[in-house]
């Protein structure tokens, strides 16, 4: 079983613990639940299935039942909070606590740099642009960016990208991508990328000043139902997949673009609020 610090989903960790224990000797959900002090014989399974949460006391009991002590218990507490909190702010606080514990104990969480990467629009842009310009100085790269940034900002971004493993330096001022895409656990990625969406939305507004031949804007205001909303979201997902496929097959890349797909409400639900 992997070390706990390699997990970001506490339910997956609990399930793996159960499966490994079951392989070693006879072990049931009943025993697992009983060892954690729960009267319901299936409570641990219900939690692992995502149908129930752990209370503060339940976290302690479950951690003890799995033999967690010291920093492992601290990490488990933070991981449960990350998985159960509904507030993005509290989720991020819990996730950052997980990263701090991992770094303190010399272990790197796979998506540990996600928040840093998505903190600034410069990171994904320069990650795409730098490999297109082998041998280019930070100043030359800066002159190709929208909006304008300094050579120092480019250098600092390149330093971060190489140190974090998002780019690999192969020669002087020459970089390649270690991987073609950046992913993490779905929950961590969703949380990390929210700030990036805000930044890119601002840049999108300012790009209206570019020549029409260089940008494409369109929009429609419409009344729809929940069923139509879900159908439209599926169509947008399919459209995004096709766009990614086109970009992935391009062998003559010479510019970095950003595609925003946005569908959001402009009013409250009239039926839900008709009796207020």
CATH number at residue 142: 1.10.10
pLDDT of residue 24: 74
* Domain termination residue (choose one: 165, 192, 212): 212
Same domain assignment for residues 119 and 60: no
83, part of any domain: yes
* Domain termination residue (choose one: 109, 131, 151): 109
241, part of any domain: no
Secondary-structure percent of the chain, ordered helix, strand, coil, rounded to 5 = 55, 5, 40
51, part of any domain: yes
pLDDT of residue 108: 47
44, part of any domain: yes
How many Å apart are CA 48 and CA 15, to the nearest integer? 6
- Number of domains the chain is built from: 2
Same domain assignment for residues 86 and 121: no
pLDDT of residue 186: 64
pLDDT of residue 110: 45
Q: What is the domain range of residue 82?
A: 4-109
pLDDT of residue 44: 95
What's the count of helices (H) and strands (E) in the chain, helices before strands?
12, 2
159, part of any domain: yes
Same domain assignment for residues 161 and 180: yes
pLDDT of residue 111: 55
Output the CA torsion sign for 89, 93, 95, 96.
positive
Same domain assignment for residues 139 and 176: yes
| Closest to 57 in 3D by CA, of 80, 41, 40 | 80
* Domain termination residue (choose one: 76, 109, 142): 109
Same domain assignment for residues 118 and 182: yes
228, part of any domain: no
pLDDT, one tens digit per residue, over 177-190 is 876 556 556 666 77
Same domain assignment for residues 131 and 90: no
Query: Are the C-beta atoms of residues 16 and 2 closer than 8 Å to each other?
Result: yes
- Identify the segments of the chain with pLDDT beneath 50: 108, 110
143, part of any domain: yes
Same domain assignment for residues 192 and 117: yes
Same domain assignment for residues 74 and 162: no
How many Å apart are CA 229 and CA 232, to the nearest integer? 5
Same domain assignment for residues 103 and 124: no
How many Å apart are CA 33 and CA 65, to the nearest integer? 9
Same domain assignment for residues 146 and 96: no
Same domain assignment for residues 173 and 125: yes
pLDDT of residue 184: 58
274, part of any domain: no
Same domain assignment for residues 9 and 105: yes
pLDDT of residue 179: 66
| Closest to 177 in 3D by CA, of 118, 113, 131 | 131
pLDDT of residue 187: 66
pLDDT of residue 165: 84
């Amino acid at each position: 079983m992997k070390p706990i610090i390699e997990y970001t989903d506490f339910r997956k960790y609990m399930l793996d613990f159960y499966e490994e224990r079951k392989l070693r000797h006879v072990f049931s959900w009943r025993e697992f639940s009983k060892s954690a002090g729960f009267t319901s014989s299936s409570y641990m399974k219900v939690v692992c299935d995502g149908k129930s949460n752990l209370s503060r006391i339940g976290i302690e009991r479950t951690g003890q039942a799995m033999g967690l002590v010291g920093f492992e218990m601290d990490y488990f507490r933070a991981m449960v909070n990350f998985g159960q909190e509904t507030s993005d702010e509290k989720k991020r606080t819990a996730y950052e606590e997980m990263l701090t514990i991992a770094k303190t104990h010399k272990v790197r969480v796979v998506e540990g740099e996600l928040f840093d990467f998505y903190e600034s629009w410069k990171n994904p842009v320069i990650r795409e642009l730098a490999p297109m310009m082998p041998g280019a100085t930070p100043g030359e790269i800066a002159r190709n960016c929208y909006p304008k940034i300094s050579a120092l900002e480019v250098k600092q971004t390149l330093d971060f990208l190489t140190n974090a493993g998002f780019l690999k330096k192969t020669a002087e001022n020459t970089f390649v991508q270690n991987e073609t895409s950046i992913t993490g656990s779905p929950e961590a990625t969703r949380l990390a990328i929210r700030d990036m969406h805000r930044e890119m939305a601002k840049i999108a507004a300012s790009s209206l000043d570019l020549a029409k031949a260089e940008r494409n804007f369109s929009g429609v205001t419409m009344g729809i139902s929940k069923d139509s909303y879900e159908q439209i979201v599926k169509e947008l997902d399919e459209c995004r997949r096709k766009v990614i496929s086109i970009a992935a097959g391009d062998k003559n890349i010479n510019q970095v673009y950003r595609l925003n797909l946005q569908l959001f409400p402009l009013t409250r639900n009239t039926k839900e609020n008709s009796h207020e």
